[in-house]
Amino acid sequence: MGEAAANLILHEKKPTGILDSVLKIIAQRLALGLLTLFIVSIVIFAAVNLLPGDFAQAILGQGATPEAVEAIRTDLGLDQHPVKRYMQWLGGALQGDLGSSFAQANFASFVGEDSGVRTSVAQQIAPRFANTMFLAGVTAAIAVPFAVTLGILAALYRNSIFDRATNILTLSSISSPEFFLAYVLILFLAVLNPWLPSLSNIYDGMAFSDRLEKTLLPALTLTLVVTAHMMRMTRAAIINLLASPYIEMARLKGINPMRVIVKHALPNALAPIINVVALNLAYLITGVVVVEVVFVYPGIGQLFVDSVKIRDIPVVQACCLIFAAAYILLNLTADILSIVSNPRLRHPK
């Protein structure tokens, strides 16, 4: 009776111990992510404020008087010490206040001629970020199943003509610059064969079908860029597991090769696949700048480029911080999902 009771207590405590271990690892990852984001925020603030030129001078032009330039700098807080400005910016960001856009302000109010209301950076970024997330979502819905399926088929028919052709095509696409792929797709899918619009001029209140149609061409461009990484990682992870004893046993039982891969090999290969998918999803949010500029897509990447041109410092800082936060968050998500899917990662040696 005593031995049975001890076994029962041991089995009851085991799930709790595993849960505590997973929660501890998640807490450590989150703390590391917050520390990384803090360091990145310092780098962003320093880099943006080291850019050459002066926003106040750029607004007023070459004929600006020193008094007018100084008035604008004082109104914008550019005359304060950089450390003080950074602490104010960081404190506001922690409260959800990313500051006010310089370029969207009423410039007359800067020199005391009017009491104009400045545009909040958060209000300016929110619709653009939503557009970028929609583009990333459409791309992920196409690219992830497509890449994983290609990886499974390439592993199943490895060293065949299909495997070699798939590797050549995906490596060619990832080796080509995004703008080159975009112009090739525009040529074949919008000019020679007018199936899709070449410009993605979406707007609020647009029907979902119309929005999807205008987003499809940039989504296909990003799909060509990110498919190779996910496909090759899926292929490599599955091939690495095909030599395992339990896979050999499944084959000896006469199970269908596709079922062996999908049911037995793929679940054990999820950790590296999840990592590479998360990295590519992070790229879809942070690396869409070139694609959005080519297709004039009203996303956060296009806003970032426009703000750099006119030195709208608060918007540039906010865009960089959002890019960094999205990248760190998706990497943390990949780590957590990998730990949950692979028990061996919970007990590092």
pLDDT digit string (tens) for 47-83?
877 776 666 666 666 666 777 777 777 766 777 778 8
**Is the pLDDT score of 11 beyond 70?**
no
125-172 per-position pLDDT tens digit: 888 988 999 998 999 999 989 998 898 888 888 888 988 998 888 888
Q: Does residue 310 lie within any of the structural domains?
A: yes
Helices (H) and strands (E) in the chain, counts: 16, 0
Q: Are residues 156 and 257 in the same domain?
A: yes
Q: What is the pLDDT at residue 50?
A: 77
Q: What is the pTM of this model?
A: 0.78
Q: Are residues 156 and 287 in the same domain?
A: yes
Q: Does residue 28 lie within any of the structural domains?
A: no
Q: Are residues 109 and 246 in the same domain?
A: no
Q: Which residues contact 1 (CB under 8 A, 6 or more apart)?
A: none
Which residue has tokens 């060293």? Answer: 159
How many Cβ atoms from other residues are within 10 Å of residue 183's Cβ?
15
Q: What is the CATH number of the domain that holds 259?
A: 1.10.3720.10
Q: Does residue 70 lie within any of the structural domains?
A: yes
Q: Are residues 73 and 130 in the same domain?
A: no
From 119, 138, 163, the end of a domain falls on: 119
**Is the pLDDT score of 349 beyond 70?**
no
Q: What is the pLDDT at residue 100?
A: 75
Count of structural domains within the chain: 2
Q: What is the pLDDT at residue 218?
A: 92
Q: Does residue 15 lie within any of the structural domains?
A: no
Q: Are residues 164 and 245 in the same domain?
A: yes
Q: Are residues 213 and 288 in the same domain?
A: yes
Contact, 189 vs 196, CB < 8 A?
Answer: yes
- Long-range CB contact pairs, 117-123, < 8 A, 24+: 121/314, 121/315, 121/318, 122/96, 122/97, 122/98, 122/318
Q: Does residue 304 lie within any of the structural domains?
A: yes
Q: Are residues 309 and 218 in the same domain?
A: yes
Band of pLDDT at residue 19, cut at 50, 70 and 90 = low
Range of the domain at 153: 126-346
Q: Are residues 286 and 339 in the same domain?
A: yes
Q: Are residues 242 and 288 in the same domain?
A: yes
How big, in percent rounded to 5, are the helix, strand and coil portions of the chain?
75, 0, 25
Q: Which of 235, 319, 332, 234 is nearest to 282 (CA)?
A: 332
State how far the alpha carbon of 250 is from the alpha carbons of 102, 130, 246, 254, in Å.
Answer: 65, 46, 6, 7
Arithmetic mean of pLDDT, 321-336: 84
HSE, side-chain direction, 13 A CA sphere, residue 176: 22
CA distance 325 to 318: 10
Q: Does residue 27 lie within any of the structural domains?
A: no
Which residue has tokens 């960081």? Answer: 90
Positive or negative, the CA dihedral 17, 22, 28, 31 is negative
From 72, 104, 119, the end of a domain falls on: 119
Q: Does residue 149 lie within any of the structural domains?
A: yes
Among 282-286, 295-299, 332-336, the range of highest mean pLDDT: 295-299
Q: Does residue 34 lie within any of the structural domains?
A: no
Q: Are residues 321 and 278 in the same domain?
A: yes
Q: Which helix (H) or strand (E) holds 36?
A: helix 2-49
Band of pLDDT at residue 111, cut at 50, 70 and 90 = very low
Q: What is the pLDDT at residue 10?
A: 44
**Is the pLDDT score of 342 beyond 70?**
no
Q: Are residues 220 and 99 in the same domain?
A: no
Q: Are residues 148 and 234 in the same domain?
A: yes
